[in-house]
Every structure is written in structure tokens, then in C-alpha cells.
A = this chain, B = another copy of it.
Amino acid sequence: MRRTVFFISDSTGITAETLGNSLLTQFDGLDFKRITLPFVDNQETARSALSMIETAAAQDGARPLVFATMADPDLLDFFTRGRTLVLDLFRVFIGPLEAELGRASSHAKGRFHGMADNNTYDVRMDTLNFALTHDDGMSTARYPQADLVLLGVSRAGKTPTCIYLAMQFGVRAANYPLTEEVLTRQSLPKALVSIRPRLYGLTIDPERLHRIRSERRRHSAYASLNQCRKEITDAEALFRSERIRSLNVTSMSIEEIGSHLLQEMGLERRSY
């Protein structure tokens, strides 16, 4: 039996999605259909959302689940009256927080993902730009300003990790490819030697690397399992001999890699 799950918010719905999806992973094997309805911030949009919920209820023959983050209690009431299970992510916690902090909440809608703070926006743009201009060893001139420089073979996940660190945490991350030349010489290029404490290696199981590379260039020498094995062996040898910490990212999501790096390198985040 399929259940439709709605994430409803007066803003982007990202908070509702994040917590809702975390909770749903605790119920394996069930069939959920997910629908996000952002910017539900007046009676008209709320009515239209409610009608979608009712349609889903009739089609599924089961009550939809509604994860809601709405600052306005009157709008939330639209949904609690319907044939749904409403999990209201705000109201449950606002009461205890008001009591603890000794003041009333502002009931302002969509605050978190609003651009309340131009400074945060600027920080993320600056660090994203840093990641993009320092991708794949393109430039090493500003390495002294980097919070970390990731090393790894092609397709080990360096670029997405750098971009994630920039967007999520405001961290200045560059990355440098372990090319055949570097791997054969088994020594660090000069640009990297002076920033050794900020180097970090990404490694990955050869089988997974083979699969990833084959997506791009099937049946190429580059994607062959032998080539992947050789490069990974050499890369891990280099990390060991140069005493560079490293992480095997084979079964990790970008979010997990990012959190590990932040923690292990003690990086200071510039945005929360």
C-alpha cells in the first residue's frame, strides 16, 4: 500500500523534508510517494494544498502523512482538520523553547531560509567561487588561503566534496588531482608541500571507482578495473609515505564526507 507524504511549509519546505525523510528511513520497505509544497503562506495556497491531500487520500485509500513547518497556527489548522496525520515540526518544540528562553516566539514565517543575513550569502558565494576556481588543480596561487586541499585520483569525489563544503559550511576547499605523473613520482608537487597540514586524501574502493568511471567512459583503459586498482594502490601509498590523513568514501554520502572532514580537520565553519 502506498502512502503519500506531503512536506508543507510557508517557506522552501527544506526543513520539513529533512526531518521528515530522516524519520521515514526508520520505516524500511514501505512505499512512500513524496510531494513538497513550498510557500504555502495564505488561505488560497493552503486550500489548494488541502485539496491535493484529499485527492491523495482517496487514491491511496490511506491517510497521507503531512510534515509541516508553518509559523502561522491558523494555516496549520487547515491541515489538522483534514483526513491526515499531521506532524507539526514547529509547534511541538516552540512551547518548551519559549519556557526555557523566557520569551515568546516571533511566529515569523520562513525565517531560516530567507536571506536575513547578506553576510552569510556573501560568504557562501565567496567560498563557492574559491572551490570552482581551485578545482582539479586549476590554480594553486591562493592555496595559502585554503582551509583544506583535497587530494585524490580522478572521480574519487573531490569536486562535489569541495562544493558541498563551500555551500554548506562556508569552508574554502580546493582540490588537486593525483595524476599518473604524481603517482609515479610518489612525491608531492611543490605547491602542496608548504600546506601539508591542510592536505587530506580521498580514497575509494577500486570496484566502485571502476563503476563510476565506466558510467562516463565505458570500456576505456581509464575505467578498467586494473587501472583503478593501480591508481588507488599508488594513491594510498603516497598518503602513507607523506603522512597525509585520508578517508575511504566508498559507502559515504557527500554529507557524511563533509561532516567527517569538518570534524577531523577541526575546520571552522563560516556559515551555519
Residues of A within 8 A of B (CB): 3, 11-15, 17-19, 21-23, 25-28, 30, 34, 36, 38-39, 63, 65, 69, 71, 85, 87, 89-90, 92-94, 96-97, 100-101, 103, 105-108, 110-116, 121-122, 124-126, 128, 132, 135, 159-160, 163-164, 167-168, 212, 215, 251-256, 258-260, 263, 272
Question: Closest approach, in angstroms, between the C-beta of A68 and any C-beta of chain B?
Answer: 12
Q: List, in ascending order, chain B residues with CB within 8 A of A116's CB.
A: 25
Among B18, B26, B164, B215, the residue within 8 A (CB) of A94 is: B26
Q: Please name the 4 residue pairs, one residue from A and one from B, whose CB atoms are nearest each other, closest first.
A: A25-B111, A26-B105, A12-B259, A22-B112
In the complex, residue of chain B having the shortest beta-carbon distance to the beta carbon of A103: B27
* Docked-complex contact A14 and B18, CB < 8 angstroms: yes
- How many copies of this kind of chain does the complex include? 2
In the complex, residue of chain B having the shortest beta-carbon distance to the beta carbon of A258: B12
Q: List, in ascending order, chain B residues with CB within 8 A of A253's CB.
A: 113-115, 121
Q: List, in ascending order, chain B residues with CB within 8 A of A18's CB.
A: 14-15, 18-19, 112
Q: List, in ascending order, chain B residues with CB within 8 A of A39's CB.
A: 259-260, 263
Question: Closest approach, in angstroms, between the C-beta of A181 and any C-beta of chain B?
Answer: 24
In the complex, residue of chain B having the shortest beta-carbon distance to the beta carbon of A92: B92
* Docked-complex contact A71 and B26, CB < 8 angstroms: yes
Among B28, B112, B263, the residue within 8 A (CB) of A25 is: B112
Which of A22, A71, A85, A111 has its CB near the most chain B CB atoms (within 10 A)? A22
* Docked-complex contact B256 and A27, CB < 8 angstroms: no
* Docked-complex contact A252 and B28, CB < 8 angstroms: no
